[in-house]
C-alpha cells in the first residue's frame, strides 16, 4: 500500500484494538445447542406471505433510483433529483408516525392487507405520470403517496413475522427471511432496469412508464397472498384479551413505550437505526455514481451495478443469518463489531485518488456489512419492546431510518453537483466531493459501533417481553 493509505489502515486497527480491549464486552446469551431449533416449513411460508411490503419496498426504491439516474442534468437539476428520491422516503416517514400505533391497536393483518392494496393503486398512478418536465411536482406527490401507503404495512409485517415464530431461536431467523425479501425486491427492480434501460440513458415517456410498472406485478401477487393466506397474530390477540383464556386490558402503546424503563432503549434504538440506515442506503445510492465516474462510459452497465448491489444485500442477509444462529454471540456484540468493521472499510475509501478501484471494492463490502447491520437492528428493535407496543417501537426506529435514507440522496446530490472529471492513471483527480461524503459515513460508523456496544439489553434467545411497562425479562441489563 501507499504510505498514506497504510497509515489510515494502521490508525483504524489501533483504534479498534483499544476499543474492544478497554470496554467491557456485552453479556453473551447462554443457551444449550440442543434447544436451538430452526423454523418449520409452514413458518417459512407464513413469513414469506407476510413479507410483501419488504419486497415491494426494495423493488420500488431500486426502480426509482434507476429512473432518477436516467434523467439528464439538462432536464432537472441534481438538487431536484435528490428531492425526487426523497419524496418516497418522506411518504414512508409520515406513515411511520401512525402505522405502528395502528398495528398495535387494530392488529397486524388489517394494516398489512390495506397497505398492499393501496400500494398497488399508487404504483399504477406513479407509472402513468413520468413526465419530469411538466408534471414533476405531481410525480413527487404521487411518490410520497406511494411511500405512505407502503409504510403503513411495514411495522405490521415485521411484527407479524416475529410473532409467528414458535421458539425463541427461530424469531431472528424468520425476521432475517423478511429482510432477505427486501434484497430480493431490490434484485427484481434491478433486473427491470437491466431489461428496459441498462445504461440508464434518458428515455421517452413510454419506456419510463414501463419501468414504473415493473414492480406492480409482484405487488399484486403479495396482496393476494396477504388477503387470502395470512392469519392474525395470535400473540397480539392474547395481549388484547381477544382469546378465550386471556383477559388482558388493551393499553395505549405510546404510554407503554415512553415508560421510564423503556425511554433509554427507545432513544438508543432510534439513534442506531438512523446510523445503520444512513450507511446502507447511502452507499446503495452512491455506488453507481461513483463507478460511473471512476470507470467512465467504458465501465460496467449502470443497470448491472444495481444488480450487484442487490446481490450484496443477499450476501449480507446470509451473513446476518450466520450471526443470529450463533449461540455465543449476542446481537449487541455483532452490531458493535460490524460498526467497527465498517469504519475500517470506509477508511480505505479515502485512498480513492491513488487507488480508485480499491475504493470501489471497499464500497461494495461496505454495502454488504451495512445491510447486515441494518438487518440486525430490525431484529433487536422487534425483540426489545413488549408486544403491546412492539409495532409502535419498531415504527419509531423505522421513522429514524427512513429519515436518514431521505437525507442521503439530498446530501449526496448537493455534494456532487460540481463538474468532476475523473481520468484515472492519466491526470491528478479531484475527489474532494467523495471524500467529504466518506467523512460523514465514517462518523456514522463509529457512532453506530459505540451505541450498539452500550445498548441496555441483550435480547438474543430470550423470551419476548409481554409485560407492559417492564423491560424484563431480558438478560445483560447494564447498570
pLDDT, greater one: 346 or 321: 321
pLDDT, tens digit (0-9, with 9 covering 90-100), for 46-98: 899 999 999 999 999 888 888 877 776 666 776 777 788 778 888 999 999 99
**What residue has cell string 431536484?**
80
Residue 203's pLDDT band (cuts 50, 70, 90): low
Lowest mean pLDDT among 260-264, 395-399, 414-418: 414-418
Distance CA 265, CA 268 (A): 5
Mean pLDDT on 192-217 = 80
Mean pLDDT on 243-264 = 76
The answer on pLDDT for 348 being more than 70 is: yes
Q: What pLDDT, on the 0 to 100 scale, is given for residue 415?
A: 67
Q: Indicate the Cα dihedral angle 36, 456, 94, 313, nearest 10°.
A: -40
Contact 190, 307 (CB under 8 A): yes
Distance CA 148, CA 118 (A): 9
Residue 133's pLDDT band (cuts 50, 70, 90): low
Mean pLDDT on 138-160 = 93
Q: Indicate the Cα dihedral angle 460, 463, 467, 471, nearest 10°.
A: -30
- Environment class of 34 (CB within 10 Å of its CB; exposed 0-12, middle 13-18, buried 19+): exposed
The answer on pLDDT for 188 being more than 80 is: yes
**What residue has cell string 397486524?**
108
The answer on pLDDT for 293 being more than 80 is: no
Helix or strand or coil: residue 475?
A: strand
- Environment class of 31 (CB within 10 Å of its CB; exposed 0-12, middle 13-18, buried 19+): middle
Distance CA 430, CA 421 (A): 8
Contact 100, 154 (CB under 8 A): no
Mean pLDDT on 259-266 = 84
Distance CA 443, CA 2 (A): 24
Q: What pLDDT, on the 0 to 100 scale, is given for residue 321?
A: 92
Task: Identify the DSSP state of 25.
Answer: P
The answer on pLDDT for 140 being more than 50 is: yes
pTM of the predicted protein model: 0.84
pLDDT, greater one: 87 or 467: 87
Contact 309, 290 (CB under 8 A): no
Contact 394, 155 (CB under 8 A): yes
Distance CA 420, CA 272 (A): 33
Contact 68, 371 (CB under 8 A): no
Closest CA to 322 of 99, 173, 168: 173
**What residue has cell string 479531484?**
430
Q: What is the chain's mean pLDDT, rounded?
A: 79
Mean pLDDT on 12-40 = 52
Q: Indicate the Cα dihedral angle 268, 271, 274, 277, nearest 10°.
A: -50
Q: What pLDDT, on the 0 to 100 scale, is given for residue 259?
A: 84
| Percent of the chain residues topping a pLDDT of 90 | 28
- Environment class of 280 (CB within 10 Å of its CB; exposed 0-12, middle 13-18, buried 19+): buried
Amino acid at each position: 500500500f501507499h504510505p498514506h493509505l497504510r497509515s489510515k489502515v494502521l490508525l483504524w486497527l489501533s483504534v479498534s484494538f483499544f476499543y474492544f480491549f478497554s470496554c467491557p464486552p456485552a453479556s453473551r446469551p447462554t443457551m444449550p445447542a440442543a434447544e436451538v431449533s430452526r423454523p418449520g416449513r409452514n413458518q417459512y411460508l407464513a413469513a414469506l406471505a407476510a413479507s410483501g411490503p419488504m419486497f415491494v419496498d426494495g423493488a420500488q426504491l431500486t426502480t426509482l433510483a434507476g429512473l432518477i439516474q436516467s434523467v439528464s442534468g439538462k432536464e432537472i437539476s441534481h438538487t431536484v433529483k435528490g428531492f425526487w428520491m426523497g419524496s418516497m422516503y418522506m411518504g414512508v416517514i409520515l406513515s411511520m408516525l401512525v402505522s405502528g400505533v395502528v398495528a398495535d391497536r387494530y392488529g397486524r393483518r388489517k394494516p398489512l392487507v390495506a397497505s398492499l392494496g393501496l400500494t398497488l393503486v399508487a404504483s399504477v398512478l406513479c407509472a402513468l405520470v413520468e413526465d419530469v418536465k411538466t408534471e414533476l411536482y405531481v410525480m413527487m406527490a404521487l411518490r410520497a403517496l406511494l411511500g405512505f401507503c407502503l409504510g403503513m404495512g411495514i411495522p405490521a409485517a415485521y411484527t407479524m413475522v416475529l410473532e409467528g415464530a414458535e421458539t425463541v431461536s427461530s424469531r431472528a431467523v424468520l425476521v432475517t427471511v423478511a429482510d432477505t425479501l427486501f434484497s430480493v425486491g431490490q434484485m427484481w427492480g434491478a433486473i427491470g432496469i437491466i431489461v428496459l434501460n441498462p445504461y440508464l440513458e434518458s428515455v421517452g415517456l413510454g419506456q419510463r412508464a414501463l419501468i414504473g410498472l415493473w414492480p406492480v406485478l409482484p405487488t399484486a401477487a403479495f396482496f393476494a397472498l396477504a388477503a387470502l393466506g395470512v392469519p392474525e397474530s395470535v400473540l397480539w390477540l392474547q395481549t388484547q384479551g381477544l382469546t378465550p383464556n386471556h383477559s388482558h386490558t388493551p393499553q395505549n402503546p405510546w404510554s407503554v413505550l415512553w415508560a421510564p424503563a423503556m425511554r433509554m432503549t427507545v432513544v438508543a434504538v432510534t439513534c442506531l437505526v438512523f446510523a445503520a440506515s444512513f450507511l446502507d442506503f447511502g452507499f446503495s445510492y452512491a455506488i453507481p455514481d461513483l463507478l460511473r465516474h471512476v470507470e467512465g462510459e467504458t465501465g460496467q452497465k449502470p443497470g448491472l451495478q444495481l444488480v450487484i448491489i442487490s446481490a450484496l444485500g443477499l450476501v449480507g442477509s446470509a451473513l446476518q443469518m450466520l450471526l443470529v444462529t450463533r449461540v455465543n454471540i449476542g446481537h449487541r456484540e455483532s452490531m458493535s463489531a460490524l460498526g467497527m468493521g465498517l469504519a475500517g472499510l470506509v477508511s480505505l475509501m479515502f485512498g480513492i485518488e491513488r487507488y480508485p478501484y480499491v475504493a470501489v471494492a471497499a464500497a461494495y463490502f461496505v454495502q454488504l456489512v451495512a445491510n447486515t447491520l441494518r438487518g440486525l437492528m430490525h431484529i433487536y428493535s422487534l425483540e426489545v419492546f413488549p408486544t403491546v407496543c412492539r409495532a409502535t417501537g419498531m415504527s419509531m426506529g423505522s421513522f429514524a431510518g427512513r429519515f436518514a435514507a431521505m437525507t442521503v440522496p439530498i446530501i449526496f446530490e448537493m455534494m456532487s453537483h460540481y463538474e468532476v472529471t475523473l481520468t484515472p492513471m492519466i491526470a491528478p483527480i479531484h475527489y474532494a466531493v467523495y471524500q467529504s461524503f466518506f467523512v460523514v459515513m465514517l462518523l456514522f460508523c463509529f457512532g453506530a459501533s459505540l451505541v450498539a456496544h452500550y445498548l441496555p439489553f441483550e435480547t438474543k434467545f430470550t423470551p419476548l417481553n409481554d409485560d407492559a411497562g417492564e423491560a424484563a425479562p431480558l438478560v445483560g441489563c447494564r447498570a
